Amino acid sequence: MPTMRAIQVSRANGPLELVERPIPDPAAGTVRIKVQACGICHSDVLTKDGHWPGITFPRVPGHEVIGVIDAMGKDVPPRWQAGQRVGVGWHAWHCGWCDNCRRSDYYACQTGVQVTGISIDGGYADYLVAPATALAEVPEELKAADAAPLMCAGVTTYNALRNAGALPGDLVAILGIGGLGHLGVQYAARMGFRTVAIARGKDKEPLARELGAVHYIDSQSADPAAELTKLGGAKVVLATVTHGPAMSATVGGLAPRGRLMVLGAAGPMEASPLTLLMGRRAIEGWYSGTSIDSQETLAFSVQSGVRSMNEAYPLEKAAEAYDRMLSGKARFRVVLTTGN
């Protein structure tokens, strides 16, 4: 039986182990993908530490996958063909028939969303098998390692921004300049928003401006809410940080009908009900998106020149690469390449 390399976790909090596994065969409705690159996302902690309810082991993490379809299961729509280059993100499958799916609220599928690298094996491997519902087309112009982080960090920021209600010329703030934030600033600027970057300290200002921010707020030396108010108030604040109080500090800087879009899985935050109701301000959570959202993220990234800044590691060094991601020091996303 032909085998492949895979990086698996055998138990909650277990190490990332390099193992040889049989190359899987695609079941009905799925395709097998030869992986070229897979990004390492902070959410992979949910797999490694076993925090996802009902997760079973061994499990291969990875939900920022780029590769080529190399085998087709039965009943895959002709839209997808062997040899096609595809991406797979967080959202792998939803049922399509429950009440929430029938309202197009696929993220809330009552049958249970299948998540790549959590419910099914992910992209830290030479091959993965993915449902046809998970597939996004990858433009030729994008190299695999460049495209991979766009399948989660990219789609999350792009899709939140395009659904937040701001129009070209509106003031839009990106809170945090990290893996998500450095993409958020680029998308916001390319979408025509008057883009503000908010981060701790002065050192990220030159980069934020290079990425397209026209204003920079150092949240250590100034009050972000007051600064945003001076600029006229933000129609949208995209909160990419994982610190609740940092999010709370921006609510007072929202314009009337402004929205704080929460992307970072942070601890509790606070907001004054009076601030919310007097200006009809809102706080909304955002979830990445489905395969068509990923596909449109890749297409927009090519069209507008948005690029993820990455550090690449070979697949065998997944454990080292994962630690680098956890350290928070990577600039900005960490990507595994297979050499396939």
Interface contacts to Zn ion, rule CB under 5 A: 41, 43, 94-95, 98, 101, 109, 111, 152
Pair 288, 311: CB distance under 8 Å: no
Using CA atoms, how far apart are residues 182 and 210, in angstroms rounded to an integer?
A: 10
Closest distance between Zn ion and the C-beta of residue 199, in Å? 21
Closest distance between Zn ion and the C-beta of residue 98, in Å? 3
Using CA atoms, how far apart are residues 169 and 167, in angstroms rounded to an integer?
A: 6
Q: Output 157 or 219, the one with its CB closest to Zn ion.
A: 157
Closest distance between Zn ion and the C-beta of residue 257, in Å? 30
Which H or E element spans position 54?
Answer: none
Q: Output 106 or 193, the one with its CB closest to Zn ion.
A: 106
Using CA atoms, how far apart are residues 333 and 329, in angstroms rounded to an integer?
A: 10
Closest distance between Zn ion and the C-beta of residue 149, in Å? 9
Q: Output 188 or 334, the one with its CB closest to Zn ion.
A: 334
Q: Output 156 or 195, the one with its CB closest to Zn ion.
A: 156
DSSP track, 275-332: HHHHTT-EEEE-----HHHHHHHHHHHHHHT----EEEEEGGGHHHHHHHHHHT-SSS
Closest distance between Zn ion and the C-beta of residue 295, in Å? 17
Q: Output 47 or 219, the one with its CB closest to Zn ion.
A: 47
Q: Output 10 or 111, the one with its CB closest to Zn ion.
A: 111
Pair 174, 238: CB distance under 8 Å: yes
Q: Output 175 or 263, the one with its CB closest to Zn ion.
A: 263
Q: Which of the 8 DSSP states describes residue 120?
A: B
Pair 89, 291: CB distance under 8 Å: yes
Residues sharing a CB contact under 8 Å with residue 210, sequence separation 6 or more, in sequence order: none
Is the previous residue joined to 332 through a cis bond, with omega within 30 degrees of 0? yes
Residues sharing a CB contact under 8 Å with residue 56, sequence separation 6 or more, in sequence order: none
Closest distance between Zn ion and the C-beta of residue 274, in Å? 35
Closest distance between Zn ion and the C-beta of residue 40, in Å? 9
